[in-house]
């Protein structure tokens, strides 16, 4: 076994060193497909090259996991495709574990000053996973790409298709931008593209996601615990669960923060939600703070719930009354949100009893129900401000 591996390794080195050029003392290495698992040569190139180029027309077949953490001044010029071989028994046993919601991944990419760009494709080969998940609801399905402890990173001009799970997880990162990303999950069977979130941000600061087109089956972008200073702009989200804060406050003893978020110029179509904030209440759950969140210039089309605060998330009315949410929500703006809902209720701002939401602003909301049906705006346990307050009438109290 050992000899076999070393010999392969030797040939990988030979293969890619033949393709090295050097610019300003930094090696640029061009990879070609090996015909077998390309993970070893990709890792070897990453370990010794400043730039790894995957040329147009080349598909790397990744059959074993990629740990590319603690990199520095590293660029991946992806013009071709990185394909994640759907060897389900291998990945369920060997994908990297992520300490959040039992997630796992094919690929950890992290370190300082990282670029992934080039117009190429990450292909998660999701169909095999969608079909397997349909018969095994506890299947661990990998996230395509986790930026892990990355700082000053850019992911630009990349296509991502058919992730088995979330497309992107941003874990403990600082100053990361994603731009010009086309992301799409499509199932060719009757089995759903479950949990194919576009981006989930966790314990990260200064993150930008912009100028991208998303077609998926779960959150377009979600701000999970400890997401701060986030800009999301110019996204076209189709088929998703919208742009979401949370859910927060799920775990007892854990304090979750989501602060300083601007989501602006967003189109959302055929989705469950538009702009949403959700937090747990009840006994034995966690706590937290949601502060300074602005949802602005949203255009929705055929969206089930265009504007949502749910501060009794997955909590019965009785439990929410007895144990109001300890995730405080304040300084929230829903500004300039227009379009059509799929039902007549177009906004539900439902806070826990006991004044747990403050300074919630609604301005320039112009939503209609399907086929022009008169819209209903609902609210509970909250004093709203802004020029759209009259649409809501008196909020109910619990
Ligand atoms: C990828 O590599 C694996 C392992 O070598 C192989 O079983 C599989 O057929 C390859 N897939 C493609 C599409 O080349
Ligand atoms: C990934 O590589 C880094 C740096 O070499 C190492 O510290 C870390 O333990 C590895 N992670 C896993 C999950 O193997
Ligand atoms: C993670 O998986 C374990 C074992 O399957 C399970 O007990 C636990 O509830 C899961 N945690 C979450 C957050 O889903
Ligand atoms: C379902 O998936 C889980 C987790 O990946 C695995 O442990 C289990 O063996 C699978 N069950 C079946 C029936 O394949
Ligand atoms: C953020 O990262 C980008 C690279 O994506 C870099 O150009 C910029 O200088 C960084 N900003 C800060 C404040 O470090
Ligand atoms: C994304 O889609 C747009 C519009 O179809 C296209 O112009 C752009 O080149 C695509 N980008 C990538 C990275 O595939
Ligand atoms: C966060 O962004 C601000 C404003 O651009 C910048 O001043 C600060 O250095 C950034 N912090 C980090 C850790 O990237
Ligand atoms: C948008 O989503 C709908 C519903 O999921 C789907 O039928 C349609 O093909 C999607 N459109 C695009 C452009 O992906
Ligand atoms: C979020 O940050 C706060 C303050 O630093 C910390 O107390 C809390 O444990 C963090 N929560 C999570 C989920 O990391
Ligand atoms: C509120 O968040 C926005 C967007 O991140 C930021 O520009 C602004 O400075 C924040 N306001 C305060 C008072 O922190
Ligand atoms: C409201 O949003 C629409 C759609 O994004 C945009 O065209 C319009 O300029 C915005 N209005 C203002 C006053 O910003
Ligand atoms: C609404 O404002 C009134 C007057 O300031 C206050 O007494 C009440 O507690 C507030 N209600 C909520 C749900 O915040």
- Beta carbons of 178 and 208 less than 8 angstroms apart: yes
pTM: 0.95
Query: Quick check: CB of 301 below 6 Å from ligand 8?
Result: no
The ligand 2 atom at the shortest distance from the C-alpha of residue 97 is 13
Which pLDDT tens digit goes with each residue over 104-139? 999 999 999 999 999 999 999 999 999 999 999 999
Q: Which residues pair with 334 in a beta bridge?
A: 295, 362
Distance CA 236, CA 217 (A): 14
Give the model's pLDDT for residue 15: 53
Q: Which domains are delineated in the chain?
A: 219-398 (2.160.20.10)
4 tagged catalytic: no
Q: How would you write 92-140 as a 3-class SS string? A: HHHCEEECCCCEEECEEEEEEEEEEECCCEEECCHHHHHHHHHHCCCCC
Q: Which of 241, 276, 278, 356 is catalytic?
A: 241
Name residues of the chain where pLDDT drops below 70: 1-18
Give the model's pLDDT for residue 18: 46
Nearest to 241 by CA among 280, 279, 215: 215
The ligand 10 atom at the shortest distance from the C-alpha of residue 231 is 5
Question: Which residue's structure tokens are 């040939």?
Answer: 11
Give the model's pLDDT for residue 118: 98
The bound ligand whose nearest atom lies closest to the alpha carbon of 254 is 9
| Best of 332, 355, 359, 397 for a ligand 12 pocket test (most atoms within 8 Å of beta carbon) | 355
Give the model's pLDDT for residue 184: 98
């Amino acid at each position: 076994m050992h000899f076999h591996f070393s010999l392969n390794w030797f040939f990988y080195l030979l293969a890619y060193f033949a393709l090295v050029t050097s610019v300003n003392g930094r090696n640029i290495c061009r990879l070609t497909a090996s015909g077998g698992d390309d993970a070893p040569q990709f890792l070897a190139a990453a370990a010794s090259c400043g730039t790894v180029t995957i040329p147009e027309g080349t598909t790397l077949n990744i059959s074993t996991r990629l740990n590319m953490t603690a990199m520095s001044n590293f660029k991946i010029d992806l013009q071709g495709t990185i394909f994640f071989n759907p060897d389900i028994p291998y990945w369920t046993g060997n994908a990297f574990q992520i300490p959040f919601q039992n997630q796992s991944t094919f690929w950890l990419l992290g370190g300082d000053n990282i670029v992934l760009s080039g117009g190429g494709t990450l292909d998660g080969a999701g169909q095999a996973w969608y079909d397997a998940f349909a018969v095994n609801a506890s299947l661990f399905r990998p996230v395509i790409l986790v930026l892990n402890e990355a700082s000053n990173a850019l992911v630009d001009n990349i296509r991502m298709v058919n992730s088995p799970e979330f497309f992107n997880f941003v874990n403990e990162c600082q100053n990361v931008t994603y731009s010009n990303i086309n992301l799409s999950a499509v199932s060719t069977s009757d089995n759903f593209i479950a949990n194919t979130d576009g981006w989930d941000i966790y314990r990260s600061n200064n993150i930008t996601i912009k100028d991208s087109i998303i077609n998926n089956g779960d959150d377009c972008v979600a701000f999970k615990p400890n997401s701060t200073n986030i800009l999301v702009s110019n996204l076209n989200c189709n088929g998703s669960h919208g742009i979401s804060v949370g859910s927060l406050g799920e775990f007892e003893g854990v304090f979750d923060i989501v602060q300083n978020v601007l989501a602006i110029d967003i189109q959302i179509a055929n989705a469950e939600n538009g702009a949403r904030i959700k937090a747990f209440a009840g006994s034995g759950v966690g706590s937290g703070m949601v502060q300074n969140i602005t949802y602005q210039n949203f255009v929705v089309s055929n969206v089930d719930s265009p504007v949502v605060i749910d501060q009794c998330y997955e909590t019965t009315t009785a439990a929410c009354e007895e144990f109001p949410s300890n995730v405080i929500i304040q300084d929230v703006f829903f500004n300039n949100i227009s379009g059509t809902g799929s039902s007549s209720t177009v906004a539900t701002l439902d806070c826990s009893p006991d004044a747990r939401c403050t300074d919630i602003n609604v301005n320039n909301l112009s939503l209609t129900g399907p086929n022009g049906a008169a819209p209903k705006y609902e609210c509970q346990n909250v004093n709203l401000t802004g020029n759209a307050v009259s649409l809501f009438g008196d909020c109910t109290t619990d």
